[in-house]
A and B are shown apart, each in its own frame.
Chain A
Amino acid sequence: MTRWVVLTAVAACALGGCASQLYGWGQYEDSLYTRVTDASAEGRQKAFGMLEQTIQRAEQAGQRVPPGVYGDYGYLLYQSNRPDDAVRYFRKEAELYPEAKPLMDSVISRIDQKRTKP
């Protein structure tokens, strides 16, 4: 008789404390992980979709978008040659989190400098 043994691992939530009190996390960390493990254009696209959905879901549910999410999404938009949209999201990050303002301002001015150069 053959026996198939299937091992089940306890879900990550039990191990990692994924219950959020303050934010709608969506797939932010999965998006980061995808970019770290899959550098292809497809991987970037996947990460992009995850972040987009994270933002949409949090906004629709009236949850606060976590620190870094608008900023990171803005950066992906910039990498996808959408500087205007990128700037819009960098501004959102700074509005929601004043701690981010110096960095967002400097990133935005870098983008502006690149754009004014021929």
Chain B
Amino acid sequence: MTLRLLVATTVLLLTGCATTSKWDYTSFFANHPRSILIVPAGNTTTAVDAPEIWSTTVTMPLAERGYYVFPVYLTADLLRDLGLTNEALLEQLAPSRFKDIFGADAVLFVTIRDWSTKYLVLASNVTVRISYRLVDTRTSLVLWRGEQNVIQQSGGGGGGIAGLIAAAVSALVTTAVDYRPLARQANTIVVGAEKRGLPVGPYHPDYQKDYAKYK
């Protein structure tokens, strides 16, 4: 019996959906932060590991945007030492405390709103939806808000029996769904969004030269 290796190209459709409402950048420009502290994310989903996994995907997009991002793991452990283990406690804290303890100009509060995989007959949808809020530690003002939804649709190519097998195979690998590429993409799109993203920070060559894009 001949074994045929059939490589069905997974049809990956990525849909990104960003917040389209306008944002007033006046406070942002008046308090342009140099450094951003990442704190443990809130989570409205049932995926208990989502906040920790998300935390491994956010340094790169923010740093490439030109900001200083505090060491993620060190920050998480220091907050744990202070008993600040969840988002509710962190939100109650006066933002100025993050200036006192970490010297941070701004804190990024994040809530994970969707982190799931849905299986259809011939395909699967992996969805990540995250909302973001950047708070100034000196004035307590919300400098920026964003929300990003990323859906990855994969379906077996070829259709018919092959398609069914493809669906079965993709169902078998469910435990191995890696949400990191989607989380990373959500983080990258939301900060880079035209007119609605995060103006670049001090380590970016366009620092303070891109304000017109956000007016």
Contacts and interface: CB of A to CB of B under 8 A. Distances in A.
Given A22-B204, A68-B70, A33 B180 contact: yes
A2 B5 CA distance: 9
Contacts of A4: 3-6
Contacts of A72: 71-74
Q: Size range of the interface on B?
A: 35 or more
B56 interface: yes
A93 B162 contact: no
A75 B73 contact: yes
Interface residues of A, number: 44
Contacts of A2: 1, 3-4
Contacts, number: 149
B188 A67 contact: no
B55 A20 contact: no
Contact of B181 (A5, A16, A74): A16
A93 B71 CA distance: 10
Given A75-B73, A97-B68, A15 B63 contact: no
Contact of B64 (A21, A33, A97): A21
B169 to A, nearest CB: 6
B59 A15 contact: no
B182 A7 contact: no
Interface in A89-118: 93, 97, 99-103, 106-107
B105 A99 contact: yes
Contact of B56 (A6, A32, A102, A107): A32
B12 interface: yes
Interface in B92-112: 101-103, 105
A25 B68 contact: no
